[in-house]
Each structure stands twice: as C-alpha cells, then as structure tokens.
Amino acid sequence: MRVIRQVGEHSFAFNRYLEPIGTVKPGEKIVLYTEDCFKGLVQSEQDLPEQVLSNAGHLNPQTGPLYIEGAEPGDTLKVYIHGIEPTRDWAVSCIQKPLGGLTPNKFTRMLNDPIGEKTWIYRFDDKGMLTHDEHLSFPWEPFLGTIATAGDLEVISALTPYEQGGNMDAPETKPGNIVYLPVAVEGAYFFTGDVHANQGQGELCGVALEISAKVTLEFDLIKGKSIKWPRIESPDELMVVGSARPMEDAARIAYAELIDWMTEYGWDRLDAYQALTQAGKLYCANMVDTVYSMVAKVSKKLAYRK
C-alpha cells in the first residue's frame, strides 16, 4: 500500500490554499500517519498543558491535504476507514485551562478562574487496554477525531467541526465505517488527524485518549451528488453529524438531514419524521469544541424500505 507522508508542516486548519501532499485516485488504498492533538508535546504527568503548550502555537495538527482525483464541487467524497493502528504505546489526556465541558472558556465566559490542570498518561497493558491505574483503564477503540474536506472560501481551524466534517469528535468515524463529506473545491482537499484511542460521548473534559497513529483509507466519489452535512454509514446504521451552538441547533440539523437522506430511499418527509420519532438515536459527540456535534442515527433495516 502506498504511504503518503506529510510534506513540510502539518496544517492547523482545513485549508484549500495549501499544496497537496499527494494525489489519490478513487479506489486506491493509502496509508497516512497522524500526530496527536498536542503535537506530541505532552508526554508525562508532570507536563501541565499551560506550561508545555504556552509557546506551542496552534494545536491539532492535520495530515493533508490530499488531492482526490476527479473530485469537483457538488460531488460527495466517500471515505472508507480501513484501519487505525497506534504508532506509540501510550495515550494522553488532560484537563487544560480553559478547555472543557464543565468549565468556563472563551465562548462560555464567567468570572470564575478555570479549574486546575492535570495530565493522565495511559499505557497499553498486556491485555491491550490503555491503562492509567486500576480504575482508569479503557479499551482500544480508535477513531479519527478530525476528518474533513476544505471549504471553498473559508480556512477553518482544525479545532472546529463544520458542514464539511472537521473536528467532530464522533466515535463513529472508525474502522469499518464510511464517512461521506461534501466536496467544495476541485480535488476535495482532504485532511485527517486527531486520532483518539477511545472517547466517551461528549468528550467531556475536552481531551480524549490522544495518540499518534497509522491510518488506512480509501476514497470514492459520488459524482454530481451534493450533501449538506457529513454522513456516516456503519454496517447497520445511517448517521448524520450536525455541528452548531446551541446544541439543539446541532440536533435539529442532524435529524433534518437524516430525514433528507431517508427520502432518497423513498420515504415521505412526514413519515420519515414519524419513523425517527419512534426509532431514531441521538447522541452527543462533543460538547467542548468551538461548536457542538450531535449524531442522529437510524437503522438501515428501518431506513431501507423494501
């Protein structure tokens, strides 16, 4: 399999103006290497983020952009996630001023000081678990925290989830699943990174089990088909990720787009609305990023009308 290595600096934004690090044909499996969100700078429990990262510049380095041959605005990019392997034997999480779902921050201002900082290092144990101690020990369930195509006008920080993907922190962008992203520019300009060895729903403190990784992907194009927000397909389910604030706006986007997807299978909109009322799933992917992400799901068994 072809390995495409990062050329020069990683980007900290989804940026169509950068030189692609490689060109990929639909149908070719390729391998990328990703850095952790801290650029590998937080390495021990003595490394408090405030100190280690204060002069580090931007965070969340992305691997890319890849130029996808044949991709044009108005197409949909289909990304098969074939595999994610760790490239080191430890992961890191921390409470980082002033990030987090339960602490004031840039967009949720209070007069209070942020809560204190703390770093946890997890190592693979002999059962393959990422283990800090007997209580904090989690299985290897990796996914791509960020996966995106570039916008045609804006350059978006790699900390942001948006309608072309980005920092959704949705545990469903994992091996075995397919991610569909809108294409806004020729070549799509694909980026990925921010692999999480595991993460709960919401990514509560703002930092999952961050790790560097080797990622195996394959791309396909749906020519002339335009989608508005990222879609995910698992063997059993169809999903849409909506990202916005307040969180109910993210939820509405996710379910409204899922209804639109169901109409492609012959559903009437009001019947799809009814079906999701009785059998839809709706969970929070992140409640910590610049905007929040909600994932709406329906089983294929229900969605695929006979």
Residues 92-111 that bind a copy of itself (CB under 8 A): 93, 95, 100-104, 107-111
Report CA 57 to chain centroid distance, whole Å.
21
**Distance from CA of residue 39 to its chain's centroid?**
17
d(CA 59, CA 38): 6
Residue type, 164: Q
233-252 residues in contact with a copy of itself (CB under 8 A) are 242, 244-249, 251-252
C-alpha 80: how far from its chain's center?
A: 14
Interface with a copy of itself (CB under 8 A), residue total 83
Distance of CA 30 to the CA centre of its chain: 19
Q: Does 278 bind a copy of itself (CB under 8 A)?
A: yes
Distance in Å, CB of 179 to a copy of itself, minimum = 21
Task: Classify burial at 283, counting beta carbons within 10 Å of its beta carbon; exposed 0-12, middle 13-18, buried 19 or more.
Answer: middle
Instruction: Using CB under 8 A, pick the residue from 34, 287, 289, 293 that binds a copy of itself.
Output: 287
Mask of contacts with a copy of itself, 138-177, x by CB under 8 A? Answer: x--------------xxxxx--------------------
Sole binder of a copy of itself in the list 115, 121, 129, 178 (CB under 8 A)? 115
What strand order describes the sheet that includes 190-196? 22-24, 62-68, 190-196, 143-149, 165-166, 161-162
Residues 205-234 that bind a copy of itself (CB under 8 A): 205-209
Taking the C-alpha atoms of residue 268 and residue 276, their distance in angstroms, rounded to an integer, is 12
Q: Which is nearer to a copy of itself, 50 or 249 (CB)?
A: 249
Is residue 118 within the footprint of a copy of itself (CB under 8 A)?
A: yes
**Binding to a copy of itself in span 4-43, by CB under 8 A:** 12-13, 15, 17
- Stretch of residues binding a copy of itself (CB under 8 A), selected from 82-90, 179-187, 214-222, 275-283: 275-283
Tell me how far CA of residue 98 lies from CA of 95, 105, 300, in angstroms. 8, 5, 40
* Shortest Å, Cβ 109 to a copy of itself: 4
Q: Which two tokens stand for residue 58?
A: 């931007």
Is residue 56 a contact residue for a copy of itself (CB under 8 A)? Answer: no
